[in-house]
Amino acid sequence: MNNIPLTDLKAQYLSIKKEIDLVIQNVIDSTSFINGEDNKKFEAQFAKFCGAKYAITVGSGSVALDFALEALGISVGDEVICPSLTFTATAEAIVHRRATVVFADIVEKTYCIDPKSIESKITKKTKAIIPVHLYGHPADMELILKIAKKYHLFVIEDAAQAHGAKFKKSTVGSIGDIAIFSFFPAKNLGCFGDGGAVVTNNSNLAKKIFLLRDHGRIDKYHHLEIGYGGRMDNLQAAILRVKLKKLNQWNTRRREIAKKYSQKLSSKYIVPIEEKSFYSVYYVYTLRHPRRDQIISKLKARGIQTGIYYPIPLHIQRAYQYLRYKTGDLPVTEKVCQEIFSIPLYPELHDNQIDFIIKTLCSL
């Protein structure tokens, strides 16, 4: 058996090569590189996919977070609650507003932010909550919205890992006040570079994001506000339009593989749990085992690549030291970080590769 990577972007490209090559050539021929038709069309299609009114493409998922928080008016002195088990961009956006990051713990079963922990961290200064739909699994949006309503807080969904995931009947991105997505190449919906989107049902927020991403511009020469150079280019939009058509099918395949893994691996490992109201799109498939590091090196020796999302939680990273969190402050997050690891899961993974991974994991 050849090496099995954690994700295989080449295999995905080859499966749609003809269509992708064609649309790339079309954009080049049109020389419409910025603010093109593909961008407008993709925005309409992606908003519809999320069940939301507006989608605004921006330079990356990180930029989307920055713009979402700025549009909501988060600023100096405000506190914003987010998980510590996430990519640093979630918390960086809070710091960029010169607001205070407040880390909450996670639910051990789902790895997503714990509503009880959120409630225990609320103060008079709290302005917003950023739940992260981690690994493609939605956070408990019902309880989070309830808390937000009770304390008058904004909810920003970080859906960078969860394009197409659902909570009850709603697709993520349409549930909170505003949501962000990343189109980083390895994400469930990825482009050929950096890209992202802000999604919302609120027309005022949508207008504000439009201004922020393009220098506060209402037309070529009129600047209404101070904004940024934060656009996503048209080539990416053209590529994403091709891929969006495949996304449901790809997510279904991810779920199929996850189901097979879970059936076969649950006797030896803690497998992801998906309760009734949740529809996960398995951006990554994460297992837990107390001998994690040993297992990872044995898998590596057999050519199976793994990843850890994330080995060091944000609250004990050097960059957030100024917040003075200590080891022990978020016990569930810290425990889980010692034991989690992710195994290859992508739509193009072959059944014989899946069987090899299962067989190897069962033999360790």
Task: Enumerate binding residues for ligand PLP (CB under 6 A).
Answer: 60-62, 86-87, 89-90, 132, 158, 160-161, 182, 184, 194, 196
Of 140 and 194, nearer to ligand PLP (C-beta) is 194
DSSP-H helix ranges across the chain: 9-15, 17-30, 37-50, 61-71, 88-96, 115-121, 141-151, 203-213, 234-265, 292-301, 331-339, 351-363
Nearest distance from C-beta of residue 266 to ligand PLP, angstroms:
26
Pair 226, 201: CB distance under 8 Å: no
Residue 269 or 310: the one with the smaller Cβ distance to ligand PLP is 310
Taking the C-alpha atoms of residue 277 and residue 178, their distance in angstroms, rounded to an integer, is: 21
How many helices and strands, by DSSP H and E, does the chain display? 12, 14
Geometric angle at alpha carbon 63, from 125 and 118, rounded to 5°: 30
Short-list 109, 169, 171, 118, CA closest to 145 = 118
In angstroms, rounded to a whole number, what is the distance separating the alpha carbons of residues 151 and 262? 38
Closest CA to 272 of 291, 288, 292: 288
- Owner of token pair 């490209």: 13
Closest to ligand PLP by CB, 173 vs 196, is: 196
How many Å apart are CA 159 and CA 139, to the nearest integer?
Answer: 10
By beta-carbon proximity to ligand PLP, the closer residue of 239 and 265 is 239
Q: Which is nearer to ligand PLP, 62 or 200 (CB)?
A: 62
Closest CB to ligand PLP: residue number: 61
The least CB distance from residue 278 to ligand PLP, in Å, is 17
Residue 90 CB, nearest approach to ligand PLP (Å): 5
Q: Which is nearer to ligand PLP, 176 or 196 (CB)?
A: 196
Nearest approach, Cβ of 134 to ligand PLP (angstroms)? 7
Instruction: Give the Å distances, CA to CA, from 204 to 53, 68, 177, 209, 289.
Output: 12, 12, 11, 9, 46
Task: Work out how close the CB of 147 gets to ligand PLP at its nearest, in angstroms, rounded to a whole number.
Answer: 20
Closest distance between ligand PLP and the C-beta of residue 159, in Å?
Answer: 8
Give whichever of 8 and 194 is closer to ligand PLP, judged by the CB atom. 194
Task: Write down the least CB distance from residue 234 to ligand PLP, Å.
Answer: 18
Residue type, 357: I
